[in-house]
Amino acid sequence: MSPSRAQVILAEADLRPHLTEQWVMSEVGPEFDAQAAEVCGLYVDPPQNAIVVSVDEKTSIAAREPARPDPA
């Protein structure tokens, strides 16, 4: 996909990731594993005639440490 096509798709969906000021993290709940499996399944076995796109919040910034401790 070309960068210009990605821009068109984002504009049509009224998404402006470049204007995001902060990252909002949800609490990991009991349904997290099922939700993660569903998302990962899109990459492993995408629906026919579908395009699966992943968007990272900031690809040039590496995570230095976790935002919160791992649950025990």
Q: Tell me: the pLDDT tens digits for 43-67? A: 888 889 988 887 766 666 666 666 6
Mean pLDDT of the chain: 78
Buried/exposed 15-48: b ≥16 CB within 10 Å, e otherwise: eeeeeeeeeeeeeeeeeeeeeeeeeeeeeeeeee
What pLDDT is attached to residue 72? 59
Number of domains forming the structure of the chain: 1
What pLDDT is attached to residue 15? 85
Q: Is residue 2 part of a domain?
A: no
Global pTM reads 0.37
What pLDDT is attached to residue 12? 92
What pLDDT is attached to residue 51? 85
What pLDDT is attached to residue 58? 62
User: Which residues form the domain of 45?
Assistant: 27-56
